[in-house]
Structure 1
């Protein structure tokens, strides 16, 4: 049995009961070292196999091989395992290899949901997720999606917004959006949601300070109706008040 578990953004309080029960039932825990640390309270004396960044295929293959050997394996993924997580890669590998193992996916709270609750209610109308990492997606494709989302006036949640190797991607995304959106459009940023160093702040497209943003951050860009009131970012659903 192989269970792919979304452990949420980082706080144990944001983990689902299903996720904690799946961790308790597992014999072996596999995951990126940061994520295995986040669930340390639930792993006890179980065997924990940790891997570093850019070892996703190796990590998933290890979990599959252990499950094929008869172990009850939990592969942990931050947020929701099916949103920029390990669920898709696991299912691709199991299908290609005809591994003959049962795979179960346990959902978790993704970063945009956790961030939205901290900011107010910015996702009350249509929204989309766009990752600014071009490790697996060509940058021209990402730019095309940014422009399309801006023209469609979606609220946009940017994942993987800025890293040491991609310091200019978020600024480029904002430049593209300002060709189709009002520069005064509200923007909310949440850093390390659900973790000890959690931070949040509000700004606009034009006034954005990119320097504090990193890979633990989630950036929410509002739509044409989004506004800020009393420190809360709100996107109206359209009710007549």
Structure 2
């Protein structure tokens, strides 16, 4: 019986994919995904049937993947990072009724970026997407306010697009209600893949012109500090 694999491929570089992710893509007859994500897979998809779409084609991709499994084809539908975080695991499980589905986890962008920045996520943290395509902006504002008040380390996904140029600045101003302006912030573009760019700055000194949809931001909590070229959030160990 054919199977649908919902695969998190990590940030995009082959070296950050799990063995399991590589294994199931290799044995799939068809690979489905957002066009750039399939391009990240390189020779892993050579000779395979491919189905890709651009932005806003998520549900179409899910329906095609499910239908191909019903036709008897082992199929992998891929998401960057982890398929269960802003990926395709949710809609696939909502849509699938009569096929076997396996979710394959992957390294999410926040963890990849954190490794490149040092150890900014060493304590409780939250992830918030600034995209209001599927979530009302008022809800996003409320989540930002509460996360900042609770002193979580905050990872920001989808920080800025052509249609959402002001959202990040609005988000930072909300967080500044509860954080000092010198709170460390790490900005990583193309985390875990070719063209990685790393900026270490503070909440009051973000250069918004250098942020786009390829970036993830990690905003420290009240104890986070910068040591050399690394950001550290203490866990609370007595290291003396």
TM-score (norm 1): 0.97
Aligned position for 1:58: 60
Q: Does 42-51 or 134-143 show the bigger shift?
A: 42-51
Deviation at 1:40, TM superposition (A): 2.1
Describe the SS at the equivalent of 1:167. Answer: coil
Deviation (angstroms), 1:69: 1.0
SS in 2 for 1:211: helix
- The corresponding residue for 1:36 is 38
* Structural mapping, 1:185-224, within 5 Å: 185-224=183-222
- Please state if 1:141 is matched with 2:143: no
Aligned residue in 2 for 1:107:
105
| Residue in structure 1 matched with residue 152 of structure 2 by the alignment | 154
**Superposed displacement of residue 145, structure 1:** 0.1
For 1:240 and 1:75, how far apart are their aligned partners in 2?
45
- Secondary structure at the aligned position of 2:209 is classed as coil
Distance in 1 of aligned mates of 2:136 and 2:101: 30
1:46 Cα deviation from its structure 2 partner: 0.7
Cα deviation 1:32-87 (Å, max 9, x = unaligned): 10000001221120111111110000010000000111110010111100000000
Moved over 3 A (4+): none
**Over the residues paired in the alignment, what is the CA RMSD in angstroms?**
0.6
Q: Gapped runs of 5+ residues in structure 2?
A: none
- Equivalent residues in 2 for 1:15-26 (5 A)? 15-26=17-28
**2: CA distance, partners of 1:152 / 1:175:** 16
Query: Hey, what's the Cα distance between the residues in 2 that align with 1:163 and 1:198?
Result: 19
Counterpart in the other structure of 2:78: 76
Secondary structure of the 2:132 match is: coil
For 2:225, the equivalent position in structure 1 comes to: 227
CA distance in 2, matches of 1:52, 1:208: 30
Q: Which residue pairs with 1:182 in the alignment?
A: 180
Give distance in 2, aligned partners of 1:134 and 1:52. Answer: 18
Structure 2 length normalisation: TM-score?
A: 0.98
Give 5+ residue unaligned stretches, structure 1: none
1:118 — aligned with what? 116
